[in-house]
Amino acid sequence: MAQPQRARPGLQGPGVLGRRYVRRAPGAPLEVVPGAVAAAAPAPPGVRAGFWSTSRWVPWFVCLLIACQLVLLVEAMSALRVVVRILAFGMSLLLLVMVPGRGLKHPALPFVLGSLGFTLLGFLNPGTVSPFAGAAQLGIQLAIAAPLLWVTRLSIDAKTFRLTLALLFFFNVASASVGVLQVYFPGRFQPNLSSAIQSQGDSYVRSLEFETASGARVLRPMGLTDMPGGAATGAFYSVLLGSGFLLSSRKGLARGLSAGGILVGLLSLYLCQVRSIALMLVICLGALAFMLTLTGRLVRLAKLLVVVGVAGVFAFGWAVTVGGDAVLARWNSLIEAKPEDVYQRNRGHFLEGTFEHLLPEYPLGAGLGRYGMANAYFGDNSDPEYPGLWAEIQWTAWVYDGGVLVLVLYPLGLLAAMAWVFRIARQREAADDEFWLWGSVIFAYNLGALALTFSYPFFMSQVGMEFWLLNAALFGAWTHAKTLHAHLR
């Protein structure tokens, strides 16, 4: 006697064609995408169905980060500086709470959550003299890592991911361009200097200036930031993301804009004279070229080398013509000595001090709220036994946060993220599939970010939040494309 066939769960009844189905993993049962059924039927009046479930939150969040950065340049908003700083991090925490559904498990997530867990134990450390500053520090770190949780709950497609990258690309090209104008026209495009920089005194501010070929003294280009040399970050993104769009675009206008962004980014970077960002960019481009070579995409490799090589030579000559001997001398210092010697003179002693002195002193962390933004805005440094601390590099910050455990777990999270995008970059996909390319770009970006942890507290700032946002968005978009039912992709 034939056994009756069992109905497939989730596929019965009216309205099935209005649903969207995904597999959370290869071979897993089909699941209805949250919010998809509601989208098939009209929402009640006054109710915005799926407002917190839309994948547009990823580009919207990037727009918010851009808006917060621009607001800081308005002199009338200087009194609200702390509020604006908090807004971007606070929005990430709000999305963590409000975005519904079950998130995908990014490979880096267990390590990052473990690191945050041990950081939370810092409230038991006697060095946490200000619970409010400690809560602020923990909130900042949770907000930076939060995209790993809320972004992966959204059904992101390749178009949304590309839009997110395009927003970052155009904003950073704009920042790099303004940085160039600040050197060409001293004082005309200059935003207000950060109060944190001004508080260091006139002699420190003068050390951030240089004399141009015309004889004028200018601050290192700030771009659309309030920090001397801040345009270097925009320059970095302009070149790296521009390289990705150059290799992926099929239209002449898009390729021209990508090449133009690369040129402007390199020119701005030379004028900023921030060598750590330049070395990070070299590492990223080298990693991208390595991935193209490894996967046999030699035509794209040749295109990258020609465009970046020609732009690099042309932009350097242009920068020296505008910036004068100061620019030439600054970049010559990189080749006059071994790279390890240059690093040792500038940041190497911070790394040595971290492992030789700070780690033995704080094997379980130094307590919360004793360094960085949380200490500057909310800290209490009145107790001479537990004074404020300074973290020049990320490895020092990890020791302060939780000692040896955080120092191990967070870097493992970075390596897990790199391992995943490396696997995606090596895949050979269909002609219209760009995930291998953006996997190569994000792998290069991740490697550069890891390198920058030796020069800057990367994961205590907005750029750290952008790091996890891009990694989570790529992970979500790739998983969505590979698990969504074929006729709904």
Render each residue's pLDDT in the chain as its tens digit; 489 residues: 455 554 444 444 444 444 555 555 555 555 555 444 433 334 434 334 478 889 899 999 999 999 988 888 877 776 677 788 888 899 999 999 999 988 889 999 999 999 999 999 999 999 888 889 999 999 999 999 999 999 999 988 888 999 999 999 999 999 999 999 998 888 788 887 776 677 777 788 788 888 888 888 888 898 888 888 888 889 998 999 999 999 887 788 888 999 999 999 999 999 988 887 888 888 889 989 998 898 888 888 999 999 999 999 999 999 999 888 888 888 887 666 666 666 667 777 888 899 999 999 999 999 999 888 888 888 888 888 888 888 888 999 999 999 999 999 999 999 999 999 999 988 765 545 678 888 888 998 898 888 889 888 889 888 899 999 999 999 999 988 777 544 444
CA triple 456-457-459, angle to 5 deg: 130
Four-residue CA torsion sign, 458, 439, 340, 207: negative
User: Which residue has tokens 């805005």?
Assistant: 377
- For residue 108, the SS3 value is coil
Q: Is 102 exposed, middle or buried (0-12, 13-18, 19+ CB in 10 A)?
A: exposed
Specify the long-range contacts of residues 245-249, CB closer than 8 Å, at least 24 apart: 245/165, 245/166, 245/169, 246/303, 246/304, 246/307, 247/300, 247/303, 247/304, 247/437, 248/434, 248/437, 248/438
Quickly count: other Cβ atoms within 10 Å of residue 309's Cβ.
10
Q: Is 148 exposed, middle or buried (0-12, 13-18, 19+ CB in 10 A)?
A: buried
- For residue 125, the SS3 value is coil
User: Which residue has tokens 């109905």?
Assistant: 7
Cβ atoms of residues 205 and 194 within 8 Å: no
Stretch (H or E) spanning 218: strand 217-219
Quote the pTM value.
Answer: 0.83
CA triple 152-473-311, angle to 5 deg: 170
- For residue 187, the SS3 value is coil
**What letters, b where the CB count within 10 A reaches 16 and e where it falls short, cover 270-290?**
bbbbbbbbbbbbebbbebbbb
List the one residue out of 400, 160, 451 whose CA is nearest residue 280.
451
Q: Is 418 exposed, middle or buried (0-12, 13-18, 19+ CB in 10 A)?
A: buried
Distant-in-sequence, close-in-space partners of 173: CB < 8 Å, separation ≥ 6: 234, 238, 242, 260, 261, 264, 265
Q: Which amino acid is at 288?
A: L
Give CA separation, 210 vs 186, 190, 271, 431, in Å.
Answer: 11, 15, 10, 49
Give 9-75 as a DSSP string: TT--STTGGG--EEESSTTPPEEEPTTHHHHHSPPPTT--TTGGG-TTHHHHHHHHHHHHHHHTT-G
